[in-house]
A and B are shown apart, each in its own frame.
Chain A
Amino acid sequence: MPVTSYLALGAILFSIGLYGVLTKRNAVIVLFSIELMLNAANLNLVAFSKFGLHPSQVGQVFSLFSITVAAAEAAIGIAILFALYRNRGTVEADRMNSLKG
Chain B
Amino acid sequence: MEKVLLDYDWTVMAPEIIIAAAAALLSLADLFLRENTDRRFFSWFSLAAVIAAIFFTVSRFGQQPYEILGDTYRVDDFALAFKTAVLSGVGLVFLLSAWGVRQEEIRFRGEYDYLLLAAALGAMIMTSSADLITLFVGLELLSISSYILAGIHRERYASNEAAWKYVVQGGVASAFILYGMSFVYGLTGSTNLYTIQQRLVEAYQTGYDAFVLLSLFLMLLGFGFKIASAPFHMWVPDVYQGAPTPVTSFLAVVSKTAAFALVLRIVLVGYIFLYQMQIWQQVVEPVLLVLAGLSMVIGNTAALHQTDTKRLLAYSSVAHAGYLLVPLSTLGAVLFESTFYYLIAYLVMTMGAFTVAALLEREAGHGNISGFAGLSRRSPGTAAAMTVFLLSLAGIPVTAGFFGKFYILMNALSTQHFWIAGIMVGTTVISYYYYFGIIRQMYFRPPASKDRMRVPMVPALLLVIGILGTVGLGVVPEWAVHWIGDLQWMSALTPLNAGPPGP
Contacts and interface: CB of A to CB of B under 8 A. Distances in A.
B179 A53 contact: no
B175 A98 contact: no
A26 interface: no
A22 to B, nearest CB: 9
B278 to A, nearest CB: 24
B168 interface: yes
B171 A52 contact: no
Nearest to A81: B164
Interface string A35-66: 00110111011011100111111110110011
Contacts of B311: 101
Nearest to A101: B311
A76 interface: yes
Contacts of A49: 185
Contacts of A93: 168
Contacts of B151: 80, 83
Given A69-B136, A96-B161, A52 B241 contact: no
A21 B154 CA distance: 24
Contact of B237 (A21, A38, A84, A99): A99
B191 A73 contact: no
A57 B306 CA distance: 51
B179 A84 contact: no
A83 to B, nearest CB: 5
B238 interface: yes
Given A41-B178, A53-B188, A77-B167, A99 B147 contact: no
Contacts of A45: 182, 185-186
A50 to B, nearest CB: 11
Interface residues on B, range: 35 or more
Interface in B305-321: 305-308, 311
B122 to A, nearest CB: 11
A99 B241 contact: yes
B45 interface: no
Interface string A12-41: 001001100100000100110010011011
B136 A37 contact: no
A80 B185 contact: no
Interface in B127-168: 132-133, 136-137, 140, 144, 147-148, 151, 154-158, 160-165, 167-168
B181 interface: yes
B188 A69 contact: no
Nearest to B180: A41
A54 B175 contact: no
Nearest to B314: A101
B161 to A, nearest CB: 5
Nearest to A79: B148
Given A53-B188, A53-B203, A58-B189, A17 B164 contact: no
Contacts of A58: 133, 185, 189-191, 503
Nearest to B239: A99
A87 interface: yes
A48 B168 contact: no
A72 interface: yes
B158 A98 contact: yes
Given A58-B191, A77-B168, A80-B147, A101 B237 contact: yes
B89 interface: no
Contacts of B307: 101
A78 to B, nearest CB: 10
A50 B242 CA distance: 45
A49 B171 CA distance: 24
Contact of A83 (B160, B165, B171): B160
A3 B182 CA distance: 13
B186 A41 contact: no
Contacts of B144: 69, 72-73, 76
Nearest to B155: A87
A5 B73 CA distance: 35
Given A37-B179, A53-B199, 13 more contacts: A14-B179, A42-B182, A47-B186, A49-B185, A52-B185, A59-B182, A62-B133, A65-B133, A69-B140, A72-B144, A77-B147, A80-B151, A93-B168
Interface of A: 3, 10, 14, 17-18, 21, 27, 30-31, 34, 37-38, 40-42, 44-45, 47-49, 52-59, 61-62, 65-66, 69, 72-73, 76-77, 79-81, 83-84, 87-88, 93, 96, 98-101
- Top 7 closest A-B pairs, CB basis? A54-B189, A48-B186, A37-B175, A44-B182, A41-B178, A34-B171, A99-B238
26 contacts: A17-B175, A18-B172, A31-B171, A34-B175, A38-B175, A40-B175, A41-B175, A45-B186, A53-B189, A54-B190, A56-B190, A59-B189, A62-B133, A69-B136, A69-B140, A73-B174, A76-B147, A77-B171, A80-B151, A81-B164, A83-B163, A87-B156, A98-B161, A101-B237, A101-B241, A101-B305
